[in-house]
Structure 1
Amino acid sequence: MSRHRTLRTQQSGVSDPQRILLIRPSALGDVCRSVCVLAAIRKRYPNAQIDWLVQNSFTQAIEHHPALNRAIPFDRKTFGTQCKKFRFGPVLKWLKALKKSKYDLVIDAQGLARSGFFAWSTRAPIRAGYRDAQELAWLFLTDRVEAPRELHTVDRMLKLADSIGAPIDPPDMRLYAGQDELSQVIMEYPDRYAVVAPTSRWAGKCWPIERFTELAQRLAQHQSLDRVIIVGGPGERLQCAPLLEMAEDHPKITDRVGSTSIAQLMAIISRAKLVVANDSAALHMGVGFNRPMVALLGPTEPSLVGPYKRDADVIRHAQPDDDFDFKKPESVEMMERITIDEVYEACDARLQAPTVTIHKKNRPDGRLSV
């Protein structure tokens, strides 16, 4: 533990925190790759109550993690609607409940004004976060941790864990699927399958859907696969319409776009022989379940936000004069540089490689999680 941390805990009167809150509400992919912070905190404080403040729609991503005691859901959409109508009662009640939890230590891994305010609202004696947190969020902190922006976002978050003396090497990126969802997936898809995730929140991050369509057809004929499962969110069917139209009549391609919960999606990905995805939540789930993958990246920088420690699985063609913003549709030019042949060859290489063992770990209740 650092000398600064020792002094801080002595000054605050908290030498051994027993109630700890991790704040990382969103987005889904970021939540999935923040589990390494949770795991590190658990190693440092094995007997503490560790809660996670997370957007209510993403609780399923973390609810089966053995290091977690409780997810604290934040209903951003409902609270936002209520506040616009000057109905502040529900959110004030929620904030009061945060304070009543009497946390000793809060870690803000989001680094925005809202998450910083949540941290401050707990009145915890130790509130750690980024020294350079955006939107002046650092004003709400007691401990401001140096975490250079040149680091990968996972390594930046691990700096927060390191600041409290938590062991961070090696990072534990594992995700855990629920037993009910796993059983359902095993019954529905006992065969060998690849997961193809052709969507992303931003159009500039999407590989052309016509190429995903051809790729899915070629993968469906691969000798190492019995099925290709297409996944995506409820509002993303239009993005992949040509692919889904083709899947309707294909006996080996299954359309699950918009028909899975997060828990079901995680279970499906956890057993995949291969995951092919744009920069999306499905990609980071693939990392968390240690699946063979092919990551298609364009205007996002792999060294900062790519699949963690999986650089060899990334296909990206950057040029020296590239200056794209992933939020702008024209950024798709970078994605268009990726050819169908090179993606298929990368998929084939992973399917021919030795099988990757799915990690397993006993939960505190004695059940086995994948």
Structure 2
Amino acid sequence: MATRSMSPQSSLEHSEAPRESTRSVLLVRPSALGDVCRSVPVLASLGRAFPSARIDWLVQPEFVDAIRAHPTLNEAVDFPRSRFARWWFPPRTFEFLRWVRTFRHRYDLVVDCQGLFRSGLVTRATGAPIRIGDRNAREFAWLGYNRRHVVDGHAHSVDRWLALIASEGIEPIPDTRLYLSDEDRHWHRAQSLGDRYAVIAPTSRWGSKRWPIDRWSKVLPSLADHGIEAVVLVGAPGEQEQTATLRQGSSSSPMSMIDMTGRTTVGQMMSLLNGASIVLSCDSAAMHMTVGFDRPLVALFGPTDPSYVGPYGRPDAVIRAPGATGHVSHRHHDDSTMSRITHTAVIQRVNEVLDAEGSSSR
């Protein structure tokens, strides 16, 4: 597990550090799924710093599975985003404010890793004596904090969030491990996938992050050559159309193709990733989950910068499109950047990863 430099530029606005007597802590990171996974090291660090404290996490209900089995977590507190969509219009405004007030005086320390208006408002509404956040948080979220810190905006997101708590004298623990519930372990065993299967996570909400779907089919023979018996496709609900071409193009492959896209809970998808011999993914939540289970990984990147949002501590897993530099908004680009990644480059990396896995298992 890689450890990185997390020394922040501090702008400390307090007179004392959090004490060991801290009894209740709230981590605010409602979404998105990949960001929730990348915030787990903050949870681990808080657990190490305050071993006797109650540590809760404010998170959207659909992402709870990613963290619910973590041994440090006491309770996942639902953040009902859909219920409060367009909350600034009455009567939802009053309902939202009533909900926010339920957090009053429940926590001694709050860490906001979201840094947006609603998360800042919830943080402020807790009335916690210590409210930690990024001094440069967007949407005026910083107004909700009384411990504001400047962190390196060019650092990996995990390092930025760890830097926030490091500024408070809390030792940053870059522990990305995820945990499965017994229910999800039982579900996985019931799938009877065999000892050697691959997971491919080719989908994304944003077309700019997707590798052309027909190229995935060209990688399948290299998986079969390494004794992979089945390929499992995973993705979010509503992304089945993205995997249809790949599913149809696999008819000549000796491996079975199992399309689980949109058919699993988050916890079930985590169990599939945990059991995989190799995971191939674009910039997605599945990639970050794979890091959390320390599985062999090949991650394809285009407009987004892996040094900023890539697989934490796993730069060796990344293939970035030739000529792609910096971090470009992925919302306004087609797949032209990703299309510069050749199938031969991916096959070569798959061979390297599976050869190394075979050597280590002998």
TM more than 0.5:
yes
Q: Hey, what does 1:362 align to over in structure 2?
A: none
1:325 positional shift: 3.0
Cα distance in 2 for residues equivalent to 1:257 and 1:320: 29
SS at match of 2:336: helix
Compared CA separation, residues 244 and 52, structure 1 to 2 (3 A): same
Counterpart in the other structure of 1:140: 144
Cα deviation, residue 130, structure 1: 0.4
Q: Deviations over 1:252-286 (max 9, x none)?
A: 11111111000100111011111100000000001
Residue from 179, 184, 209 that aligns with 2:182:
179
Q: Quote the offset at 1:56 in angstroms.
A: 1.5
Contact kept in structure 1, 2:240 and 2:262, CA below 8 Å: yes
Aligned match of 2:263: 259
Partner in structure 2 of residue 79 of structure 1? 84
Amino acid at match of 2:230: R
SS of corresponding position for 2:164: helix
**Hey, what does 1:285 align to over in structure 2?**
289
Match of 1:119 in 2: 123
Q: CA deviation at 1:166?
A: 2.2
Structure 2: how far apart are the matches of 1:88 and 1:143?
Answer: 27
Aligned length: 349
Residue of structure 2 in register with 1:337 after alignment: 340
Q: CA deviation at 1:167?
A: 1.9
Distance 1:18 1:350 in 2: 45
**Match of residue 73, structure 2, among 68, 74, 97:** 68
CA distance in 1, matches of 2:324, 2:239: 32
Write the distance in 2 (CA, Å) between the matches of 1:187 and 1:356.
29
For 1:122-179, what per-residue CA distance to the aligned partner results, in whole angstroms no more than 9, with x for missing partners?
111110000111112111110001211011111000012212322225x100011112
Q: Which residue in the other structure is 2:156 paired with? A: 152
Could you tell me which residue of structure 2 aligns to residue 164 of structure 1? 168
Consecutive aligned runs of 4 or more in structure 1 exceeding 4 Å deviation: 2-6, 81-85, 247-251, 320-324
Q: Give the distance between the partners of 1:156 and 1:323, measured in 2 at CA.
A: 16
Is 2:32 aligned against 1:32?
no
Q: Residue 199 of structure 1 corresponds to which residue in structure 2?
A: 203
Q: 1:70 to 1:258 in 2, by over 3 A?
A: same
| Alpha-carbon distance in structure 1 between the residues aligned to 2:190 and 2:305 | 38
SS at match of 1:277: strand
Give the match for residue 313 of structure 2.
309
Report the alpha carbon displacement of residue 322 of structure 1 after superposing the two structures with TM.
8.0
Matches within 5 A, 1:38-57: 38-57=43-62
Root-mean-square deviation over aligned CA pairs: 2.5
CA displacement, residues 16-50 of structure 1 (integer Å, 9 cap, x when unaligned): 31111000111100001110000000000000000
User: Where does residue 15 of structure 2 map in the other structure?
Assistant: 7
Deviation at 1:7, TM superposition (A): 2.4
- Is the contact made by 1:22 and 1:107 (CA closer than 8 Å) also made in structure 2? yes
Q: Distance in 2 between matches of 1:206 and 1:320?
A: 14
2:103 corresponds to which of 98, 122, 129: 98
2: CA distance, partners of 1:94 / 1:344:
51
Displacement of 1:57 after TM fit? 1.2
Q: Residue type of the partner of 2:60?
A: Q
* 1:9 to partner: Cα distance: 4.4
Structure-2 separation of matches of 1:56 and 1:322: 33
The residue type equivalent to 1:198 in the other structure is: P
Alpha-carbon distance in 1 for matches of 2:201, 2:141: 34
Partner of 2:212: 208
5+ long unaligned stretches in structure 2: 1-9
2:184 counterpart letter in structure 1: E
CA contact (8 A) 1:290 1:356 kept: no
TM-score normalised per structure 2: 0.89
**Does the CA-based 8 Å contact 2:304-2:326 persist in structure 1?**
no
For residue 194 of structure 1, report the CA deviation from its aligned partner.
0.7
* Alignment match, 1:245: 248
Shift of 1:184: 1.9
In the other structure, the counterpart of 1:363 is none
Contact 1:56-1:75 within 8 A present in 2 as well: yes
- Once residues 259 and 145 of structure 1 are traced to their aligned partners in structure 2, the CA distance between those partners, rounded to angstroms, is 41
Corresponding residue for residue 223 of structure 1: 226
Identity in percent: 41
Q: CA deviation at 1:15?
A: 6.3
Contact (CA 8 Å) 1:207, 1:336: kept in 2 or not?
yes
